[in-house]
Amino acid sequence: MRRPALYSSSQRNSPAPGQTASDQPGDREPPQALAAAPGRPDSGTARLRQHFSLHNIRLLWAVVGLLSLLLAISLATSMQPAARKLTQKDINAAVLKTLETTVLPSPAVKAYEAIIPSVVRVVGLGKPTVDKDGDEHAGRSVGTGVVITDKGVILTNLHVVQGAETIKITFSDGLESSASITGVQPENDLAVLQAHKIPDDMIAATLRSTADLAPGDQVVAVGYPFGIGPSASSGIISGLKRTFRSPDGEQAIGNLIQFDAAANPGNSGGPLVTMEGEVIGIVTAIYNPNQQRSFVGIGFAVPIENAASAAGMHPF
């Protein structure tokens, strides 16, 4: 079979007479130019094998390096000491350290802050009176009240508002309003008021049962003694189920809470609260053996169960 012509870079000789171009010895490529001779590797195949050999070596070293890194991480982790479990002793020490370095508010402060949004100043204005010298005096009494519902229902003492033509209320945020008497409980010297205007964020006091009270429990009285306030005084419950008789002897009130937190005229109708700021009674009287209007260490409050019933409430 005739082979196709291949171009060569060698110079061609003219064919001898009687010979064709294909018959000249110099015009035919040697067989090794078309295919690799048997037993000799082709140069391209050799380069390819060399490339794969280098690639395999590099890949092997990469795998070895990765395994070495993982082994080092594993050894480092295993050598780290395990985290110590917290004990109750650790927790107690941390709490004690916090208490030693942090100034906490006193229980009386917390009680005052809890009740003060619900405490109001109550002023009763009556008809002017004329004394023997002909001088006219405006009838005026000042006391305290405590808001027991967010609708503006207020508990106070009856003697603060009795006979008043106008009752004015001042809330803790300074808002002033008139009020009306909606209920009375004369046997406990209590009156229920309804404010005609209330703050938008009116906060009612929390009432607490007196069933578990005992002498020695701490209490705070909040009010407007002599119109000054709001003022707070702290003390303890001195006794339970006491009876108080008015100076004129006309009225006796029983089942009272006796306490020694300072109270004076103007505290009447204000709340007596626990250290949590919960109302347990309405301050109603102070003992005056010398008939002087000053505190001698004995005050009385109507239990909140009786006071709430005056407003038609039975919270416990």
CATH of the domain at 171: 2.40.10.10
Determine the 3-state secondary structure of 178 from DSSP.
strand
Residue 50 lies in a domain: no
For residue 211, what are its two tokens? 């069933």
Do 146 and 223 sit in the same domain of this protein?
no
Strands 119-125 and 166-170 turn out to be antiparallel
The reply to whether 142 and 223 lie within a common domain is: no
Q: Within a domain: residue 75?
A: no
Residues contacting residue 45 through CB under 8 Å, at least 6 positions apart? none
Kindly state whether residue 82 falls inside one of the protein's structural domains: no
- Structural domain of residue 143, as residue ranges? 113-128+138-195
Residue 241 and residue 166 share a domain: no
Burial class from Cβ neighbours inside 10 Å (0-12, 13-18, 19+) for residue 83 reads exposed
| Residue 167 and residue 242 in one domain | no
From the list 141, 231, 233, 268, the catalytic residue is: 268
User: Which pairs from 243-251 meet CB under 8 Å and 24+ separation?
Assistant: 244/284, 244/285, 244/287, 244/300, 246/285, 247/288, 247/291, 251/189
Tokens for 261?
């937190």
Residue 104: its pLDDT value, please? 75
Catalytic residue check, 51 = no
Question: Is 159 among the residues known to form the active site?
Answer: yes
The whole-angstrom separation of Cα 221 and Cα 116 is 11
pLDDT score at 304: 93
Does residue 100 lie within any of the structural domains? no
Which structure tokens are listed for 98?
A: 């916090």
Residue 102 has pLDDT above 70, yes or no: yes
108 in a structural domain: no
Task: Answer yes or no: is 300 within a domain.
Answer: yes
What single-letter DSSP state applies at residue 272? E
Domain count, the chain: 2
| 104-119: pLDDT as tens digits | 788 999 999 999 999 9
Residue 10 designated active-site: no
Flag whether 294 is in a domain.
yes
pLDDT in tens, 121-130: 999 998 777 7
Active-site annotation holder among 118, 141, 189, 238: 189
Task: Look at 4 and 254; give whichever has higher pLDDT.
Answer: 254
Tell me the pLDDT band of 49, cut-offs 50, 70 and 90: low
Q: SS3 sequence, 93-120?
A: HHHHHHHHHCCCCCHHHHHHHHHHHHEE
Q: Which helix (H) or strand (E) segment is 79 a member of? A: helix 43-79
Q: What is the mean pLDDT of residues 297-309?
A: 91
Determine, yes or no, domain membership for 210. no
Q: Which of 118, 141, 159, 260 is catalytic?
A: 159
Both 224 and 278 in one domain: the answer is yes
This prediction has a pTM of: 0.66
Same domain, 158 and 241: no
